[in-house]
Chains A and B, each alone.
Chain A
Amino acid sequence: MSDITATAKNEQGMVNAVDSKDDYLLRVKDLCLHFRTTKGIVQAVDGVSFELKRRRSVAILGESGCGKTSLARAILRLLPRNVHKFTGEVWLNGTDVMKMSDEWFRQNVRWVKASMVSQAAMNALNPVLRVGYQVAEPLMIHLHMSKEQALQRAREMFRLVGVPEDFLHRYAFELSGGMRQRAILAMALVTRPDLIVLDEPTSALDMLTQANIFNALKDIKRQFDVGFILITHDISTSSDLADEVIIMYAGQLVEHSLAQTGYRAPLHPYARGLMASVPTLREDKRLEFIPGQPPSLISPPSGCRFAPRCPQRFERCAQEPPTFRVGEHGELVKCWLYAKD
């Protein structure tokens, strides 16, 4: 569990014996991404810290609008124009990429070290280029491969994600939704990045295709030195890939646990409510739901952001924002219930 706890120790000012950078694929510290809007500043990502070891995958879960996509965009620096504040540290393979220029980041990090499959990416393929060429393109641009080499690699990737080879020569509109999504996945994989961010990668697909794509992802995870960040609404499906679980609420990370705790016995009251609301097919359980709605990210509550909806809140919750606590098994949880003092 030490993989999760380092952040907490740091936050609490404890000594973190060896800063074994190389073990970590990703370390995010106090990341903020705020947007400017006519109604005010939207705190879409507000002080998020977490770490991910190499070859691990983490699911980022939370309700619509809690900042999951914004967090991914902040990590990959895929920013819209109306950014108000973009601060914090993002260490990828031991290097703080936040210190890099945009140009350098675009040339040497995005696609090369970390790639992303965006929400609704299915429709993002270029309609006038053959899909094989599109998948090979990042190799030619970023890794300066020859066209033949790149296409060869693209062909391998197609096989890996389950697209028949002759589809290399087709155009996007000639592919079904499932095949298009696989092609996008092949594109994210083709440069062999260390980190792949998947934002709702299968939510538009049918269940059988979705299961097939997750089988392919599991294969990839076994074969390559790659870590995944999986962002999804679909909590059940996320458990197909996740070693760890991060729960976000109103722009903040409220819990980071290993899958065992995250799915079976979450600690944060919001995480518990969320997990208790997931319908299960095989198990007869009484479903619960969380009354109320998430706060505005323009003027979030000052104490704990979940306090107004929390069944277990007490005075302190409305007064002070909670800091990270370490749970019994090394989970990180941002909740005053776990304060020992």
Chain B
Amino acid sequence: MARAAIPGRLAWRVARLAEARQETETARTLVFDVPDWPGQTAGQHIDLRLTADDGYTAQRSYSLSAPDRVELTVQRIADGEVSPYLTDVIGLGDPVELRGPVGGWFVWRPGTERPVLLIAGGSGIAPLMAMIRARRRSGDGTPFTLLYSVRTPSDVYFADELRRPDHGLTVALVYTREAPDGWPRPPGRLAPADLAHLGLAGDCFVCGPTGFVEAAADLLVARGHDPRRIRTERFG
């Protein structure tokens, strides 16, 4: 009898920066060329490794923000070791090492047929953007709602893309510090009222800093969402 195939080791691959775009003042989207990249499911992440010229290394995890290429969206953490290198230092053609894709739980696949609620806090939009793009690319008709919490209007990642009409996708922004002029909701943290109009059926994906994810997941459970249908990814 054939046994289930044992997957091979997730090998480190050399990735070269092919494209970079400033998302906001503190965040950058980076696209890497990775020979023989095996592909990914929307929501998965990679491990990235940097090596200094004396052999010192540092590793961190980053979500893939696209479903079909090695694209990362990184927020600069002011006193961070790895993120400032990715947002401010690395240049086109420079190599890093990465391995993946990793994670078989915080993923969305076209054809799942249940409505989807995405809740992002800040850079937590990255893996959710991969899901939004996977849905659009596959022509999947599943209704998606994105609730995206940002500090100010200039902190919205993928702002142009999220503004473009995408049939079946509803985007609602929640500003926590400063809202655009005339915005009906006063700035403030995600609150029960922000979820009041949303349906209870379907799958929820919540991603962002731990405090945000805890608060958002608690709000969902309090509203009566089935906890087993709430998947979370915490960034730190």
- Is this pair of chains taken from one and the same complex? no
